[in-house]
Copies of this chain bind each other. A is one copy, B any other.
Amino acid sequence: MQIMISTIKSNRNIPEVVLKAAIHLFTEQGYFNTSVPDIVKKSGVSTGSIYHHFGDKTGIAKALFEMLVKRMENAFDDIERKHDSVQSRLRAVIEYLFQLTEEEPEVMTYMLFIKHKEIMPNMAPVCSSKPFTKMRQMVVDGMANGEIKTMDNMVAAASLFGGAFRLISLRLDGVLERPLMEYQDELWRCAWQSVQK
């Protein structure tokens, strides 16, 4: 019996295939160095289909961003459910970020280092998105329940997460040769010491 083309075609999820190609190209060469024909070539999906699903080129970047933000948000919700103390929550957040950086560097690059404002001019900065406000809320909670020194919220959050973001950035730039996990314990000791009561 002949295999119908239709069954093969219907087996691929076009948005998924396109987003996979897009995140690779966007993080590798940048959004503006990636043409729609590039995405067509890489994904095997036609121009027309891409426009049918995403509206325009920025629609791809937007869909990708929203997907990844939601994913990170869910991960943080999980962490809050699984840990009681603020300290262990914060540590788990950093562990998650480090793991994500190692396992899916493109995801981390896209979330942290793509200038989304250049692509979507009236988008709020990443640091105002749910996952990031949630991180800061954890710090506020820790100050309220006495785990963290009383001080400016922003300074406390920056002190706690700043080192982690620095290492992630260095790792993604290829400056750090060993996986982030190897730095985790030492970094956390520094970070926690800087704000603990």
Chain A contacts to B: CB under 8 angstroms: 29-33, 113, 115, 117-118, 125, 127-128, 151-152, 154-159, 161-167, 169-170, 173-176, 183, 186-187, 190-191, 193-195
Cβ-defined contact, A151 with B193, below 8 A: no
Q: Knowing that A113-B115, A162-B167 are A-B contacts, what are 6 other residue pairs whose CB atoms are under 8 Å apart, sorted by A's residue number?
A: A125-B173, A127-B169, A155-B187, A162-B165, A193-B193, A194-B194
In the complex, how many angstroms separate the beta carbon of A101 from the nearest chain B beta carbon? 13
Indicate which residue in B115, B152, B183, B191 contacts A30 across the interface (CB closer than 8 Å).
B115
Q: Which residue of B lies closest to A187 (CB)?
A: B155
For the residues of A in contact with B, the DSSP-based class is helix
Complex Cα distance A175/B157, Å?
A: 13
**A158-B187, A187-B155 given as contacts; is B166 within 8 A of A128 (CB)?**
no
Cβ-defined contact, B186 with A118, below 8 A: no
Indicate which residue in B29, B151, B174, B183 contacts A155 across the interface (CB closer than 8 Å).
B183
Indicate which residue in B152, B158, B176, B193 contacts A166 across the interface (CB closer than 8 Å).
B158
Residues of the B chain whose Cβ atoms lie less than 8 Å from the Cβ of A154: 167, 170, 176, 183
Residues of the B chain whose Cβ atoms lie less than 8 Å from the Cβ of A174: 125
In the complex, how many angstroms separate the beta carbon of A56 from the nearest chain B beta carbon? 15
Residues of the B chain whose Cβ atoms lie less than 8 Å from the Cβ of A191: 159, 194
Complex Cα distance A128/B195, Å?
A: 29
Cβ-defined contact, A173 with B127, below 8 A: yes
**A154-B183, A159-B190, A194-B159 given as contacts; is B127 within 8 A of A170 (CB)?**
yes
Cβ-defined contact, B175 with A166, below 8 A: no
Complex Cα distance A191/B165, Å?
A: 14
